[in-house]
Amino acid sequence: MSDLTDRLAQGLPPGAVLVDPDVTAAYRHDMAGFCTAGTPAVVVFPETVEQVQHVLRTATELRVPVVPQGARTGLSGAANAVDGCIVLSMVKLNRILELDPVNRIAVVEPGVVNAELSRAAAELGLSYPPDPSSWESCTIGGNIGTGAGGLCCVKYGVTSEYVLGLDVVLADGRLLSTGRRTAKGVAGYDLTRLLVGSEGTLGVVVRAVLALRPAPEPQLALAAEFPSADAAGAAVCAVMAAGLTPSLMELMDAVTVRAVNELGRMGLPESTQALLLVAFDGPDRVDRLARVAELCRAAGATEVVPADDQAESDLLLEARRLALPALDRLGTTMIDDVAVPRSRLAEMLNGVAVIAERYGLTIGVVSHAGDGNTHPIVIFDASDEEETARAQHSFDEIMGLGLELGGTITGEHGVGLLKRDWLARELGPVGLELQRQLKAVFDPLGILNPGKMV
Ligand SMILES: Cc1cc2nc3c(=O)[nH]c(=O)nc-3n(C[C@H](O)[C@H](O)[C@H](O)COP(=O)(O)OP(=O)(O)OC[C@H]3O[C@@H](n4cnc5c(N)ncnc54)[C@H](O)[C@@H]3O)c2cc1C
């Protein structure tokens, strides 16, 4: 055993320290394509806060980098190992510690899977709204690390709006508690908000106080077919301008619809250029859907099909959740995540189509349309060097287009390694300098997730 593994093993349970390179190789990277991944020296699985502190203290003493990991479903390379690092897997800190219906909070460890928390909250008539499509596998720690969004954000907002307080182990092993368990609280700088989306670069989340909401009624959805992105974009704008707040408003292009049909035999209409799914979950959901149907027709929808019943509605939402895995089967994919003001959604979609044409590539687009958050997915043959280069150029142009339209290079997946070179373009020199100074305050030796984000 090396000094590092020996020292780590002294404060961890038997079997919690993996060093066999054949086994540790599985922990090298998350689900992002085209990001470098190093070779970890060791992968550890602490089960308590004290054990996490032991790992960080050891890392600081020996000056070894630490890469925190949840379920590794991330799409930016933020959880990728760096050479010689300790991969700190948080999946065994996975208890729901409290569900409190009076204060409407949950206290959880970071390895709890998103859908497990949702199901546990539902048993008490409560909900934890942030719902990434990966919710059956991704962890709350990873969701906090990335500031994850999801399908219901158009009505309920993203992860940062639900994180009230955190316990965080700092790089030197100290335990920091931020935030509150109260409904309100403004004491000091908002370190909780700073930590959400910090991609494991500032501290390791070991406990989170999360806001819960009363469980909404089940959603009822409709599907509307449009002949163009312009018409679909106009419908999205009309719905929002009418003061309606759907619980979901998602858009799939023709490439995505075909891919979903192939994977899930969903029977979605393949003649459409853009398929808009809209759902409401309130008591007046039927009336509101009827109003959306009118607005969609006025914007040029060729067909509007409300779900007949709950089962049909659930099927439409399931179809949307299949979009990424379905497109993944068409070739190697680079998944982009550019958000623009929703009023500019159609310009973004048309711009992506022009880029796809210019580079001779297939780019499927699935969007959280209500948030203006697009996921253009570049599909290519990774064994063809020239095509791969074209794919990378198109990916960059898509980010450039998003910034030109007043948007951001990442709506929810984060910067990680994938978009690190682009961060300066969005933040500007002063913004980037301050972000780097913040990193140095939390982690002066650069132990935590080095080379990611800033
Ligand atoms: C099919 C599919 C669909 C997806 N859909 C969505 C979607 O709708 N919306 C969305 O936002 N994302 C989506 N994602 C991306 C991904 O699921 C999210 O980014 C998710 O939040 C990652 O969680 P994870 O547990 O896998 O974290 P990981 O990928 O393991 O880690 C993500 C980041 O968090 C850090 N981290 C993990 N745990 C901790 C901790 N305890 N303390 C500090 N830092 C930590 C890591 O270092 C890393 O920087 C999707 C991914 C897939 C594969």
Q: Is the pLDDT of residue 171 over 70?
A: yes
Question: Does the Cβ of 351 fall within 6 Å of ligand 1?
Answer: no
Measured from the CB, is residue 110 less than 6 Å from ligand 1? yes
Give every CB contact of residue 269 below 8 A, 6+ residues apart in sequence: 223, 225, 257, 275, 303
CB atoms within 10 A of CB 30: 25
**Mean pLDDT, rounded, for 94-110:** 98
| Mean per-residue pLDDT, 346-354 | 97
For residues 14 and 93, what is the distance between their CA atoms, to the nearest angstrom?
16
Which of 130-134, 180-184, 202-206, 330-334 is the most confident on average? 202-206
How far lies 157's CA from each of 209, 213, 233, 244, 383, in Å? 17, 12, 21, 15, 40
Is 74 touching ligand 1 by the criterion CB < 6 Å? Answer: yes
Contacts made by residues 283-286, CB under 8 angstroms, sequence distance 24+: 283/217, 285/217, 285/219, 285/220, 286/220
Residue at token pair 């090396």: 2
What is the pLDDT, as a whole number, of residue 109?
98
* CB 413 less than 6 A from any atom of ligand 1: yes
- Does pLDDT of 1 surpass 80? no
Q: What percent of the chain has pLDDT over 90?
A: 94
Q: Is the CB of 75 under 6 A from ligand 1?
A: yes
Q: Which residues pair with 279 in a beta bridge?
A: 221, 248
Closest C-alpha to ligand 1, atom 37: 142
Count Cβ atoms within 10 A of the Cβ of residue 3 and give its class: 0-12 exposed, 13-18 middle, 19 or more buried. Answer: exposed
* Pocket-testing residue among 28, 51, 56, 138, ligand 1, by greatest number of atoms within 8 A of Cβ: 138
What is the C-alpha to C-alpha distance for residues 174 and 56, in angstroms, rounded to an integer?
Answer: 9
- pLDDT mean over 308-312: 88
- The atom of ligand 1 lying closest to the CA of 90 is 41
Residue 344 CB: number of other CB atoms within 10 A?
Answer: 18
Pocket test for ligand 1, best of 75, 252, 366 (most atoms within 8 A of CB): 75
| pLDDT for 79 beyond 90 | yes
How do strand 274-280 and strand 220-226 relate by DSSP bridges? Answer: antiparallel
Quote the percentage of the chain above a pLDDT of 70.
100
Which of 146, 251, 317 to mutate for ligand 1's pocket (most ligand atoms within 8 Å of CB)?
146
pLDDT tens profile 261-292: 999 888 888 889 999 999 999 899 999 999 99
Distances (CA, A) of 322 to 209, 234, 262, 300, 326: 30, 25, 10, 26, 6
Counting from 1 in the atom list of ligand 1, the atom nearest the Cα of 149 is: 11
Residue 282's pLDDT is what?
A: 87
Name the amino acid, one letter, at 253.
D
List, edge to edge, every strand of the sheet that includes 204-211: 96-100, 105-108, 204-211, 163-169, 175-179
With cut-offs at 50, 70 and 90, classify the pLDDT of residue 320: very high
Per residue in 5-48, pLDDT tens? 999 999 999 999 999 999 999 999 999 988 999 999 999 999 99
Q: Per DSSP, what are the bridge partners of residue 31?
A: none
Q: Does residue 76 have its Cβ closer than 6 Å to ligand 1?
A: no
pLDDT for 123 equals 97
Of 391, 279, 404, 413, whose CA–CA distance to 350 is shortest? 404
Ligand 1 neighbour 109 (Cβ under 6 A): no
For residues 352 and 251, the answer to whether their CB atoms sit within 8 Å is no
| pLDDT tens for each residue of 401-451 | 999 999 999 999 999 999 999 999 999 999 999 999 999 999 999 999 999
**Structure tokens, 106:** 């949950």
Structure tokens at 195: 């930590």
Q: Kindly report, residue by residue over 41-74, the tens digit of the pLDDT.
A: 999 999 999 999 999 999 999 999 999 999 999 9
The candidate with the shortest Cα–Cα distance to 334, out of 79, 32, 29, is 32
Tens digit of pLDDT for each residue in 353-389? Answer: 999 999 999 999 999 999 999 999 999 999 999 999 9
Is the dihedral angle over the CA atoms 64, 70, 72, 74 positive or is it negative?
Answer: negative
Count how many residues are written for the chain.
454
The pLDDT score that the predictor gives to residue 427 is: 96
